[in-house]
Each structure stands twice: as structure tokens, then as C-alpha cells.
């Protein structure tokens, strides 16, 4: 059965967060005249995000969107790196680096083809303003922008997947999540969605591919990139 | 001061609901082989919507989105018109006529120009699926789709305007509501938004223009259509 709509994870699936964040950190360092292991800081910034969401999930933090979580992590990382006295506006600008991530080379072409046949939306833990600014800058042709922020539940909580289907007025089984991460796809599958895995071998950097533990037949579609996904979905 | 983002009312402002609904009712009647005053029914359908939102506002109905309210009104109108025995799928299809409204002739051109300079979003009482389906069919190039449904407060409740600004991460005073209706613009103004009135003299049909009671200087911009709005906003 064909899906009626496709919902896309974004960080790592649509956009190459790591190269983009390293680029932004290098610019930040260049403006300040400081040198650090920017790739390491980018990795740490990203690594800080699942535990931060867990704090929200456990109620240790009130609802805080990703811009808020990213900023908390960033302030700690700057302190740990001995970078002090940066004014708030500069920290805010750096924090919004996550609004300025570059798409993978196949993303816009694949999405444009998929849009001609399917309704395409984001379904990201990124907040609405982040996703909207990202799409505008990168030319991502979403039909709408749906975020975990709207449900105050981060993926892989079922509320995020089911809330997306409800807003689109489709049954969970008519909605397909597209993601490069098995944990996200498993959350979607548990909530009754269809699933498409897209391989992003460079997400964590060249030669730093994480081992895949996906079982044969676990997801409905296995795609090499968005152009391959469009081919497989007849778009 | 220039706005950072523009939020658009849709029914009557972006799309010509009346001609589109009359066309859909005529098709419905033609399929059934029944003749009625379809223009009158279109007007009654639209007129039923503010009182239905008021029932939600007063708590007489639990939160019900516009598809739900439209369907309640439609069922009553069909009964009053003596149209009986229509199957649920046909009523659902007719109800989703509100997802298939045609844009005013200047809408796509004006929005495309405005999008090049500003972030543009819907801010409509229509639900997310309605707005998304409408945009996809009509080619409306929104950066994102924001609906009163996300706040469970219909305009002109302040929660809708303030919620839109919050999701976009802009101050209320940096957001401009664009609408053809003074009551909506007044609600936005009370919430601290900038305002742009767009004239839609044909909204209620040719020769059925409602008297305007707008005071001089009441709104920040007065525009003849979206192309004029783009001219005035330097887009």
C-alpha cells in the first residue's frame, strides 16, 4: 500500500549537520581569533542533545525547544573550552547555526520529485522556527512544517508520530517516516507508521560510519538517498 | 519598522471561498441530480462558521477543528434543504471543498514576490490539513503552515496571534498580519502585531460588498491586492 504522506526527519537525514556546524564554529573561532578542535566541539554539541531531551522527557526540565536545549549545551561547551566573555548576541547567532544547515546533495532534487506525488512534511525534533528558517535558506520544498514542538513530545515518543498523522488528517498507517536513524524509525513503526530508511554514511564524518544494526525487512523501504527513494516510491 | 515575517489570513484574503464553494456545491448537486440555491447555501455555510467557533470559545463544544465545524454546519444545511440519504463519503468529500478553494488571481504572484524578502506563513482558523492541501493544490508558496488549530484558540483570540509569533521566534511587533477583515486585524493589533489590510471587494460576490468601517490610519498598510502589498513592502 502506498503512503498518502511522507514525514521527514531532518538532522542527518535531510541536512548534513556535522559539516555545517563545523563550518559555523570555524567562523565563530575566526571572528574571535581562537583555535579549538571545532570538529570535536560539533560532535559534542550533537551528542549533548539526546540526554538534554531525556531531561525534558523525565520532567527534570520544563518543556524546552531545541533552540533552548542547544543553547544550554553550547554554553557548557564554550565554558569547557575556556572560551569566555562572548556576548549574548554572538552566542545566539552561533546557536542558530542549526537553522543554517546545508542539505545533502540529493535532498532538494529528491524532495522536489517526491512532492509532485506525495504530501511532504518535516517531522523533526527541531523547533518550527529552526525548520522554517532552514527550509527557506536551503530551498527545501516542504508542503508544511511539523515539529515535535507542536506536541511537546520529542521523538521517539509516540505522541510525535501520532500527532503528525492527526494534523495531516491521515491514519498512522498512511504516513511514512523517512529517516537515517533506526531508533526514530522503530518509534514510528511502534506508532503504526510506514517506514523508509535512508542511508547517510557521512553523517558522523568520512570514515566514521556507525555500525548498522537493522534487521532484514525491518523497514518498508531501504534507500540509498532521496533520489533513490523517489525512484522506489514511483515519484 | 519593517516586519520580519508576514502571517496571512486565508479564507477571503488569499482564496475566493465563495466562488469555489458554489462550484463544488453545483458539482455535488449535479452528481445527485438535485437543484437548489447553491449560492445561498454557500453563504449560509460560511455564515454558520463564526457562531460555531463561538460555541467552541464558550466551551459549549470541546475543541473542534474547522473541518469538524464545517461538517456540522453542512449536515444541518443539507437537512434544511431536504437533501437526504447522501452517503458519508460524499458528505466528507463535499466538506473538503474548503481544502480546494481557488486563490484570488493576484495571490500566487504576490506571495512569490513577498516570499523572496519575508518569511510568509498562514495564520488561519482553517486546520493544518486543510491549509496544507489548499496550498498544494493552489500552488501557494508558504514557508510554513500555522493554524489556530495549533493553539486551540480561534482568531481573534490573542493566543492565536501570540502563538504564531512565538513559533516563528519573532516578537509580536515584528510580525505583520495580512487580512481582508477588520475584526481579524483588530485582534492582531490588540496582540501587538503590525497589520496590513488587503481589499477583497468580491469576497461576498459581485455587487455585494460589505460596508467598510475602517478608520484612517487604523492599520499600518492598506493594499489593493497582494501585488500592491509586495510593492508597498519593497518585495
Instruction: Tell me how far apart the alpha carbons of residues A208 and A77 are, in angstroms, rounded to a whole number.
Output: 22
Residues B185, B186, B192, B195, CA torsion sign: positive
Residue B225: predicted pLDDT: 98
pLDDT score, position A192: 98
> Which of B145, B149, B166, B171 would you mutate first to test chain A, the one with the most A CBs within 10 A?
B145
B207 pLDDT band, cuts 50/70/90, is: confident
Look at B127 and A169 and tell me if their CB atoms are within 8 Å. yes
Residue B212 confidence (pLDDT) above 80: no
Residue B203 backbone dihedrals phi, psi, to 5 degrees: -55, -45
Does residue B150 register a pLDDT over 80?
A: yes
DSSP designation for B16: -
> Which of B132, B170, B174 is the best residue to mutate to test the A interface, defined by the most A CB atoms within 10 Å of its own CB?
B132
Q: What is B44-58 written as a DSSP string?
A: HHHHTHHHHHHHHHT
Ramachandran assignment for A79, one of left (phi > 0), alpha (psi -120 to 50 degrees), beta (any other): alpha
- For residue A121, is pLDDT > 80? yes
Over residues A21-75, the pLDDT tens digits come to 999 999 999 999 999 999 999 999 999 999 999 999 999 999 999 999 999 999 9
Contacts of residue B175, Cβ cutoff 8 Å, sequence gap at least 6:
B3, B4, B5, B6, B7, B161, B164, B165, B168, B193, B194
In the structure, how many helices (H) and strands (E) does chain A have?
A: 10, 6
pLDDT of B208 over the 90 cut: no
Alpha helices in A14-125 (DSSP H): 17-32, 38-47, 49-57, 66-80, 88-95, 107-117
Per-residue pLDDT of B5-36, as tens digits, reads 999 999 999 999 999 999 999 999 999 999 99
The percent of residues above 70 in pLDDT, for chain B, comes to: 100
d(CA B126, CA B14): 12
Dist CA B1 CA B80 (whole Å): 51
Chain B: give the shortest CA distance to residue A128, in Å.
Answer: 6
The pLDDT value given to residue A203: 95
Question: Which residue of chain B comes nearest to A115, CA vs CA?
Answer: B136
Contact B229, B114 (CB under 8 A): yes
Q: CA–CA separation, B156 vs B161, rounded Å?
A: 8
Q: Residue A224 has what pLDDT?
A: 97
Give the side-chain half-sphere CA count within 13 A for A198. 32
pLDDT tens-digit series, residues A65-115: 999 999 999 999 999 999 999 999 999 999 999 999 999 999 999 999 999
| Nearest residue in chain B measured CA to CA from A130 | B168
Percentage of chain A beyond pLDDT 90 is 96
Per-residue confidence (pLDDT) for residue B1, from 0 to 100: 74
Amino acid at each position: 500500500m502506498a503512503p498518502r504522506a511522507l514525514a521527514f526527519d531532518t538532522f542527518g537525514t535531510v541536512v548534513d549537520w556535522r559539516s555545517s556546524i563545523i563550518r559555523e564554529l570555524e567562523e565563530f573561532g575566526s571572528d574571535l581569533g581562537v583555535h579549538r578542535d571545532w570538529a570535536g566541539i560539533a560532535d559534542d554539541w550533537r551528542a549533548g542533545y539526546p540526554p538534554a531531551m531525556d531531561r525534558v522527557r523525565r520532567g527534570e526540565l520544563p518543556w524546552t525547544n531545541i533552540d533552548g536545549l542547544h543553547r544550554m549545551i553550547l554554553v557548557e561547551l564554550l565554558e569547557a573550552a575556556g572560551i569566555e566573555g562572548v556576548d549574548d548576541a554572538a552566542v545566539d547567532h552561533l546557536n542558530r547555526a542549526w537553522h543554517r544547515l546545508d542539505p545533502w546533495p540529493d535532498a532538494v532534487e529528491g524532495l522536489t520529485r517526491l512532492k509532485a506525488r506525495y504530501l511532504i512534511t518535516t517531522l523533526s525534533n527541531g523547533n518550527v522556527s529552526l525548520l522554517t528558517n532552514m527550509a527557506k535558506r536551503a530551498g527545501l520544498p516542504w508542503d508544511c512544517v511539523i515539529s515535535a514542538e507542536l506536541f511537546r513530545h520529542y521523538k521517539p515518543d509516540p505522541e510525535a508520530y501520532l500527532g503528525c498523522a492527526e494534523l495531516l488528517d491521515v491514519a498512522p498507517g498512511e504516513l511514512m517516516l523517512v529517516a537515517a536513524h533506526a531508533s526514530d524509525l522503530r518509534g514510528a513503526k511502534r506508532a503504526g507508521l510506514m517506514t523508509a530508511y535512508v542511508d547517510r554514511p557521512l553523517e558522523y564524518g568520512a570514515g566514521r560510519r556507525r555500525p548498522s544494526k537493522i534487521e532484514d525487512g525491518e523497514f518498508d523501504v531501504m534507500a540509498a538517498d532521496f533520489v533513490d527513494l523517489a525512484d522506489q516510491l514511483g515519484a
